[in-house]
Amino acid sequence: MPDQSNFDPNAIGLLENNIFGLPFSEEESALVLVPVPWEVTVSYREGTSSGPDHIFEASLQVDLYDPDYPGEWKKGYYMTPGEEDLVDTGVNLRDQVVGLLDAMENGEDIAGDEDLAAALDEVNEGCAVMTEWVYRETGRLMDNGKKVGLVGGDHSTPLGYIRALGDRHEQFGILQIDAHADLRDAYEGFLFSHASIMFNVLATVPSVTKLVQVGIRDYCDSELELINNSDGRIHTFFDRDIKNRQYEGETWKNICREIVDALPQKVYISFDIDGLDPKLCPNTGTPVPGGFEAEQVYYLFKMLKSSGRTIIGFDLNEVSVGDEDNGIDAVTGARVLYKLCNCMMA
């Protein structure tokens, strides 16, 4: 365990320290967070690429005492500096995507236009490079004995990490907290779209034997068909069904037990912040009415841990503060991230 003899957990978070104001290095930390400030394929509002920076800043205001998992931070948490080249590439590709989306909205034939087709190829190739970088970086950390969390960025960012986990675990399940199913095949022509993350995971990571989705309330016919024809590999707890069960008197505890029972022994958590009620994340890229209070999801995590299941990794994505930072998005993101860290390490 890292030396904390000169650290006061009750003092103000120091800017010179790392995530949550903790004074640990990568080498000293049991859990390392990888920021991926990427939002190339977002289809509505921008801003998630700044999510890691805003979460880091807000994390300095998080009190370290967690009544659910007291003292887990002492094992050491650290966020890496990130990859500057990745940021520059993402900005350049985003400009390409804006032009492509404008052309699509105006009914232009992308495949029939040489310049537009070339731009689409460039975007898909760039996203593949990002995915490969995440694969290598998370793999490096795991091979060094670290537990890893990924901080996006949009929801396309964890694909490389999940692939790296697939190389190291024979089978595991994904607990997806989200407003969207994210099961579209190459949405808008983008092979690595944020709306295609779970489609891509299921298609390329056979170790993922179960996808349990919770809070889904925005999806299309083809996604519903994929769910219904998955032979049980996908189990979706739609937000509407959860609410109806609660309105009719069923407890959240019973529903959480059913969610946990659907998962295998090893679990990866993919937390899209828009799974929460939009009042907690008003600037996220694609907010949808409905969703959860943060404490409801924390309770689900406690049920998951008490079941004896092992959390092998997690991502938090789609946190954005918008053009005018009203504070709540980053504050929510930082606290959700802290809970994920503590829950994984407990």
Q: Is pLDDT at 6 greater than 90 in this prediction? A: no
3-class state of residue 156 by DSSP: coil
Q: What is the pLDDT of residues 293-313, one digit of tens each?
A: 999 999 999 999 999 999 999
Strand order in the sheet with 208-216: 77-79, 31-36, 147-152, 310-317, 266-272, 172-177, 208-216, 234-238
Q: What is the pLDDT of residues 159-203, one digit of tens each?
A: 999 999 999 999 999 999 999 999 999 888 889 999 999 999 999
Q: For residue 340, what is the domain's CATH number?
A: 3.40.800.10
The predicted structure's pLDDT at residue 295: 98
The predicted structure's pLDDT at residue 62: 97
C-alpha–C-alpha distance, residues 142 and 130, integer Å:
18
- Cβ contact 181:198 at 8 Å: yes
Q: Which pLDDT band holds residue 27 (cuts at 50, 70, 90)?
A: very high
Residue 13, domain member (yes or no): no
Residue 14, domain member (yes or no): no
- Which residues are CB-neighbours of 136 under 8 A, at least 6 positions away? 160
Residue 249 domain boundaries? 19-345
Residue 3, domain member (yes or no): no
Q: Is pLDDT at 115 greater than 80 in this prediction? A: yes
Cis check for the bond before 153: say yes or no (omega within 30 of 0): yes
Q: What is the mean pLDDT of residues 56-74?
A: 96
Q: What is the pLDDT of residues 239-298, one digit of tens each?
A: 999 999 999 999 999 999 999 999 999 999 999 999 999 999 999 999 999 999 999 999
The predicted structure's pLDDT at residue 281: 96
Residue 169, domain member (yes or no): yes
Residue 225, domain member (yes or no): yes
Q: What is the pLDDT of residues 88-113, one digit of tens each?
A: 899 899 989 989 988 988 899 898 88
Q: How many domains does the chain have?
A: 1
* 6 or 36, greater pLDDT: 36
Q: Which pLDDT band holds residue 324 (cuts at 50, 70, 90)?
A: low
Residue 226, domain member (yes or no): yes
Residue 316, domain member (yes or no): yes
Q: What is the mean pLDDT of residues 34-50?
A: 91
Residue 7, domain member (yes or no): no
Beta bridge partners of 236: 213
- Cβ contact 207:165 at 8 Å: yes
Place of tokens 């809970």: 339
Q: Is pLDDT at 3 greater than 80 in this prediction? A: no
